């Protein structure tokens, strides 16, 4: 009996492996040729391994109560690979589950089912032109954005990383920059091949030619010299936060728009994708992607406010240390931040609570906030203490947030976990803006305390990518919602 069970278990695993391995080339082909990104219940399968695909399918049982087999999602993917499709994000997990266990049960014709689900992208010509992207600054966020852009290279790719701009470097600078892109102590090795072209002062990565430009001021760069035009310049330096400073980028030949990866000052629109990205207008030339913490908390706050009503609240962020702090005690203009980051918890301030109102004005004046910097290199935690307009309970709040993370317009921003064992390092590489730790939720009458994990580097970079896409006026629908 035990031997038979073990044999059946092995046979089942082998079947899953074989289906996952058959999926890999189709997933790559769909993205490279059609800019169609495949996922399973929000878990992107782009550049995934066979094991990643199997694990993504296993998560379906946590959400639906029954398993989704790879042999059930395989026909969906196989059919998609034969279709003429416009750029989209297509969740084969949700489509397969619906076809086998939902609305598609009575419909035996898979192609007809898919044609109905994919209306708007099926048999549609893709007339969207690609857009040049320049990264001004190549620190933590700059290099992660480079990874995201390069890993999505293909003949139908719409966002093309053409150059990075850094301050004048010494001998060996180019090799150092390439090495930092190739290896990362937190996020691991780059998924691909990187070589240095010293003669042309460039980095070649996964078939992309990326010009490295040295400049001390945005206005002195002529991008057209390198064949770059109408570019979106992503400022990762944080040196300029207002319209006048960021406007220097627009004086450079070949630059058309600027996106700041930090909170903008004055009348600059601070965009949290999923919340107020609809405010991006065609004639907007200077934008901000707000901060990592603002991106982490605003989607959840918006969802809760619309469902339960938020009267007031306090946001406490337990935030990993950043380059702004010192390795050992040294002078810093800000209070306490001069003390050693790897050795101390540092109480400091955050503007994230007030910044929420820039993206979601309904909460203006209702939130306070503070921050504690802690000795970890990445992944932070936001604690929301909220007073709601009506009484509720833990089950209702968690169920609402779980459904929001799976079946709403905020599914790319909010993720959800029911694990009782999850810790910060488990969240490295999370693509969502934040992850609701449902086991830590506390509800007492109308008072709610929520714990939101967020990869303050990678999760934020994914949000920035979504804003870049909207600034480029690229339409990429999510199917199904």
Any idea which residues carry the catalytic annotation?
Answer: 292
Which residue is associated with the tokens 């319209």? 243
Torsion of CA 320, 323, 326, 328, to 10 degrees: 80
Q: What beta strand segments (E) does 172-275 contain?
A: 194-197, 202-205, 208-214, 231-235, 255-260, 269-270
Q: Tokens standing for 45?
A: 């399968």
Q: Helix (H, G, I), strand (E, B), or coil: what is residue 214? A: strand
- What is d(CA 89, CA 281) in angstroms, rounded to the nearest whole number? 23
Neighbour tally for 69: CB within 10 Å: 16
Burial classification of residue 192, based on how many CB atoms lie within 10 Å of its CB (0-12 exposed, 13-18 middle, 19 or more buried): middle
Structure tokens at 236: 């990762």
Q: Kindly state the DSSP code that residue 480 receives in the 8-state scheme.
A: -
Q: 480: closest CA among 66, 71, 96?
A: 96
Structure tokens at 164: 């990075």
Residues 6+ apart with CB under 8 A from 247: 258, 286
Helix (H, G, I), strand (E, B) or coil at 132: strand
Please give the Cα distance from 261 to 248 (Å, whole number). 16
Torsion of CA 404, 481, 89, 64, to 10 degrees: 70
Q: How far apart are CA 111 and CA 319, in angstroms?
A: 48
Per-residue tokens: 416: 């959800």
What are the helix and strand counts (H, E) for the chain?
Answer: 12, 21
Q: What are phi and psi of 245, to 5 degrees?
A: -65, -45
């Amino acid at each position: 009996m035990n031997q038979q069970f073990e044999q059946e278990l092995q046979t089942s695993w082998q079947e899953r492996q074989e289906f996952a391995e058959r999926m890999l080339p189709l997933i790559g082909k769909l993205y490279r040729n059609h800019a169609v990104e495949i996922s399973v219940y929000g878990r992107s399968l782009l550049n995934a391994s066979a094991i990643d695909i199997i694990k993504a399918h296993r998560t379906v049982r946590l959400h639906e109560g029954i398993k989704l087999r790879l042999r059930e999602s395989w026909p969906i993917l196989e059919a998609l690979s034969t279709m003429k499709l416009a750029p989209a994000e297509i969740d084969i997990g949700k489509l397969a589950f619906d076809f086998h266990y939902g609305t598609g049960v009575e419909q035996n014709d898979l192609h007809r089912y898919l044609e109905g689900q994919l209306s708007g992208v099926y048999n549609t010509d893709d007339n969207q032109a690609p857009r040049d992207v320049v990264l001004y600054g190549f620190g933590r966020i700059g290099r992660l954005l480079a990874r995201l852009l390069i890993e999505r290279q293909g003949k139908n790719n719409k966002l093309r990383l053409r150059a990075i701009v850094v301050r004048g470097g010494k001998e060996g600078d180019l090799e150092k920059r390439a090495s930092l892109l190739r290896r990362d102590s937190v996020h691991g090795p780059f998924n691909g091949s990187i070589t240095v072209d010293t003669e042309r002062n460039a980095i070649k990565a996964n078939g992309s030619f990326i010009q490295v430009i040295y400049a001390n001021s945005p206005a002195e760069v002529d991008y057209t010299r390198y064949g770059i035009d109408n570019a979106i310049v992503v400022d990762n330096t944080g040196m300029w936060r207002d319209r006048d400073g960021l406007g220097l980028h627009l004086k450079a030949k070949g630059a058309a728009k600027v996106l700041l990866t930090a909170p903008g000052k004055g009348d600059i629109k601070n965009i949290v994708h999923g919340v107020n990205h609809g405010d991006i207008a065609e004639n907007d030339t200077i934008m901000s992607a707000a901060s990592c913490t603002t991106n982490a908390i605003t989607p959840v706050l918006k969802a809760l406010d619309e469902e339960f009503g938020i009267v007031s609240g306090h946001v406490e962020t337990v935030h990993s240390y950043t380059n702004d702090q010192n390795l050992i005690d040294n002078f810093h203009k800000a209070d306490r931040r001069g003390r050693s980051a790897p050795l101390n918890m540092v109480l400091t301030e955050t503007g994230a609570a007030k910044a929420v109102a820039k993206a979601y004005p309904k909460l203006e004046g209702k939130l306070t906030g503070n921050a504690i910097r802690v000795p970890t290199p990445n992944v932070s935690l936001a604690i929301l203490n909220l007073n709601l307009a009506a009484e509720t309970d833990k089950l209702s709040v968690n169920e609402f947030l779980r459904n929001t993370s799976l079946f709403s317009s905020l599914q790319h921003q909010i993720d959800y976990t029911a694990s009782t064992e999850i810790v910060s390092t488990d969240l490295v590489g999370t693509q969502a803006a934040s992850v609701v730790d449902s086991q830590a939720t506390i509800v007492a009458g109308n008072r709610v305390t929520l714990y939101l994990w967020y990869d303050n580097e990678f999760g934020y970079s994914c949000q920035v990518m979504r804003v870049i896409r909207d600034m480029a006026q690229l339409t990429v629908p999510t199917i199904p919602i």
